[in-house]
Amino acid sequence: MNDKYYIFPESKQQEAPPSPSSSPTLSEVGGKALSLIRTSALQFPVPPGFVLTVSFFQPWLEQIKQTKAWESFLSRVASADPEGSVTREDCDAIKEQCKKILKLNAEQRRYIQDAIKAAFGHDNADHLGIVAVRSSSPEEDLAGSSFAGGYDTSLGVTSAGLQDAIINSFASLFDHRIYLYKIQHGMAADAPRIAIIVQKQIASDVSGVGFSLNPNNNCFDEIVISSNFGLGESVVSGIITPDTYVVDRFDPSNMKVISKKVADKTSAIWLDEESGGTRQDPNKSPTAQALTDDEIMEVARMVADVEEKYFDGSPADIEWAFHNNTLYLLQARPVTAHVPLFPEMITERGKEKRLYLDVMVMTQGFSDPLSTLGLDIWKTSLARMKPTMSTEGFDGLMFNIHGREYMNISNMLMMTGGTAMVNTALRPNDKSLDRAFASIDLKDYTPSYVPEGCKGIFGKSIKQLLLTVPNILRGMYYGKDSMQQYVKDTNALLEH
């Protein structure tokens, strides 16, 4: 029993010589590896592999911490301005030391041999095959943080290049981008930790990413899939514009493709299955659809299953690949680039969709929730200024929840003149809001009935508008008196 490596899928543990427990912690293996271990345990088709734990790399950390480059780095981290004091050159000096002095010791080599036998078969420890080597930091791929693209990944690695690939991933722990991300997100920069994954490399025919919600419009009823031929590196690195497919999961039992954008995918990255490594070649049919319609639905079902079974319904982001008509799950992580909704605001699958507008962000320019007192003052002010807009609850135009105020756009659309109000009163006032409305079909968010709280609002609004006419005329002809009355009313409101 040791804590230096873990293998996946779990079933491999039964074939292995004495090896670690099958229940690692986040602090031992990092977010990415923990995801692979747990999703494979849930019977998702994860390619086999193993993770070298944080403890495995403790001897290397001790070596690095004895160097002058590390001492210089620490002194700058301790300065009054750690973000500005530590330069790229400081970080590169540590990375250079990693590549210069680090080697696998005899004990580490033995652990790797055992892990290879356990993950890939008893008799091929010296014949690794072709693998991918990537980082798995304890701070990586979590709901509140993402180091996407920060750490080094090596693809198409053979037995001869395994040590160098592991060292490269380890050295990227000290990359300047990683350092800045940690400082900016309140993480300890002087206590580096990393685990490293060694996983069978899939020679993908088609691959890409999938999101269990639409990150473009924050729709929880749409799955978005991006794909290209070959390895997924061309998609995640952004070297090409991938195909994009949107799947409507409004009815989980009858998902359907509602949008296809087939791009001109000029090139793809392919695995060299003979000698290892990768190559980038032009696509023979760059405008061909990378996934068939059946494959789109197969990926969509996997995305939905990962969200439900692994993330308990929270939005999921996966990397996937097809090889010889078999779909594999390569990574699964929480979606970080979306606007989370309170549970009370999320409708059940198959129920009518709802569209909300954050009034605080639109009108006040801040996104932090109000205190109970602050929200009470806000509600009172709104009720005085716009009586017809102050109806509370999900059946009205406005509602407050957990320190925030929202406008129910769906309910507005069912009012007389509601669509015109959206197009003439809301969209022209904010370019980003206009783009958001342009990306969706308002019909998808229009309820089938007029909510109780919205009945009669149009008439009340007209009445309220007519009541302002005398005040307008008074202001035009008796400006000074009107200003005095305004000050008086304002003071009365504040006192109330």
Spell out a b/e string for 111-136, using b for 16 or more CB atoms within 10 Å of the CB, else e: bbebbbbbbbeeeebeebebbbbbbb
Kindly report which listed range (112-126, 349-363, 389-403) carries the lowest average pLDDT score.
389-403
User: In the structure, what pLDDT confidence band is assigned to residue 447 with cuts at 50, 70 and 90?
Assistant: confident
Helix (H) or strand (E) holding 28: helix 26-41
Residues 478 and 470: beta-carbon distance below 8 Å: no
What's the rounded Cα separation, in Å, for the pair 283 and 268? 6
Q: Residue 185: pLDDT above 60?
A: yes
Instruction: Give the mean pLDDT of the chain.
Output: 86
Give the three-class secondary structure for 165.
Answer: helix
Share of the chain above pLDDT 90, in %: 47
Tokens standing for residue 42:
């849930």
Q: How confident is the model at residue 20 (pLDDT cuts 50, 70, 90)?
A: very low
Question: Where are the alpha helices (H) located in 190-292, listed in sequence order?
Answer: 233-236
Identify the residue with better confidence: 448 or 170.
170
Query: What is the structure's pLDDT at 21?
Result: 47
Q: In the structure encoding, which two tokens stand for residue 418, read together?
A: 């509601």
Contact 132, 153 (CB under 8 A): yes
Contact of 102 with 172, CB cutoff 8 Å:
no
Confidence of residue 240 (pLDDT cuts 50, 70, 90): very high
Higher-pLDDT residue of 213, 80? 213
pLDDT band per the 50, 70, 90 thresholds, residue 152:
confident
Alpha helices of 323-443 — where are they, by DSSP H? 359, 372-385, 409-413, 418-421, 431-438
pLDDT, one tens digit per residue, over 241-298 is 999 999 999 887 889 999 999 999 999 999 998 889 999 999 999 999 999 999 999 9
Between residues 80 and 243, which one has the greater pLDDT? 243
Determine the pLDDT at residue 16: 43
Q: What is the pLDDT of residues 456-482, one digit of tens each?
A: 666 667 776 777 777 777 777 777 877
Please say if the pLDDT value at position 93 is more than 50. yes
Question: Is the bond leading into 282 cis (omega within 30 degrees of zero)?
Answer: no
| 338-344 LR contacts (CB < 8 Å, sep 24+) | 338/213, 338/215, 338/218, 339/218, 341/218, 341/220, 342/401, 342/402, 344/394, 344/401
pLDDT in tens, 153-184: 999 999 999 999 999 999 999 999 988 888 88
Task: Give residues with Cβ within 8 angstroms of 56, minimum separation 6.
Answer: 4, 5, 108, 111, 195
* Tens-digit pLDDT profile for residues 34-51: 999 999 999 999 999 999
pLDDT band at 81 (very low <50, low <70, confident <90, very high): confident
Alpha-carbon distances, residue 191 vs 179, 204, 485 (angstroms): 11, 37, 63
pLDDT at 12 over 60: no
Instruction: Give pLDDT, residue 345.
Output: 87
Exposed e or buried b per residue across 276-311, where buried means at least 16 C-beta atoms within 10 angstroms of its C-beta: bebeeeebeebeebbbeeebbbbbbbbbbbbbeebb
Q: Report residue 18's pLDDT band, with 50, 70 and 90 as the boundaries.
A: very low
Hey, what amino acid is at 118?
A
Q: How confident is the model at residue 17 (pLDDT cuts 50, 70, 90)?
A: very low
Q: Which one is predicted more confidently, 238 or 18? A: 238
| Predicted confidence (pLDDT) at residue 218 exceeds the cutoff of 90 | no
Please count the CA atoms within 13 angstroms of the CA of 57 that sit on its side-chain side.
30
Contacts of 180 (CB under 8 A, 6+ apart): 83
